[in-house]
Every structure is written in C-alpha cells, then in structure tokens.
Amino acid sequence: MRWPVWRVAVAERSMEPALNPGDWLLVRRRMRPGRPLRIRAGQVVIARHPYRPDLLLVKRAARRMPGGWWLESDNPYAGAVDSRRFGPVPPGLIEGRVLCRYRAASRP
C-alpha cells in the first residue's frame, strides 16, 4: 500500500532561499498511475529526471507547456538541473506536490 503523503529530504542548494539542504518536505504523492496531480504554476513539486528516472528533483512548476510542465530552480546559479537543460517534464514524471517544509530539531 502506498501512503498519500511521503517525506523527502532536500539535499542540494538549487531551491535556495525557499528550501535549504537539510530541510524535510511533506509531499502529496500521486496515487494512481497515469493520473497526474493537480498542479498550479508556482507550486513546488517532486519529479523524476526525464533521462535518469532514478533521480528525484525538487523544483518549482513555472508554467504548463504542450509537452508537460516547465520546472525551474529558484537558485539556478547553484548548478541546478532543471527544464533549462532537459525541457518540459511530462505530467507522468511528477511524483508529488510539496505540502510543507520543516527542519529536523537539532540535538544538543
């Protein structure tokens, strides 16, 4: 059974200042294969890289295009991999929509 919400860690700097390495995200997962999530421009999503499906990306859905969603990094100068490199992402590769961000409590 797949849970509708899953937890994802931010590992790179491509979404700074909105998301930082070490942040955790709660993500609304796509539940039915072949049925895309409802996404609006400006929302942060989790998507599979079009040429490396094992790689998950955290990106902002910038705009809907004929081939899918144009996904962009908030910090393109951090060596970001986004639609500027691989073009629009088909809706079937978008795994979820970020609901909230939190930072794990630091231990003394």
Residue-wise pLDDT for 17-62, tens only, equals 999 999 999 999 876 766 778 899 999 999 999 999 999 999 999 9
pTM comes to: 0.87
Confidence category of residue 4, pLDDT binned at 50, 70, 90: confident
Residue 80, classed as helix, strand or coil, is coil
**What is the residue range of 48's domain?**
5-99
Alpha carbons 12 and 5: distance in angstroms, whole number: 22
Give the mean pLDDT of the chain: 89
Per the structure, the count of domains in the chain is 1
Whether residue 108 is predicted with pLDDT greater than 60 in this model: the reply is no
- The amino acid sitting at 82 is D
Alpha carbons 17 and 60: distance in angstroms, whole number: 13
Residue 105 in any domain: the answer is no
Model confidence pLDDT, tens digit, residues 84-103: 999 999 998 999 999 999 98
Q: Please give the structure tokens belonging to residue 96.
A: 């979820």
Residue 107 in any domain: the answer is no
CA nearest to 45, candidates 92, 104, 103, 106: 92
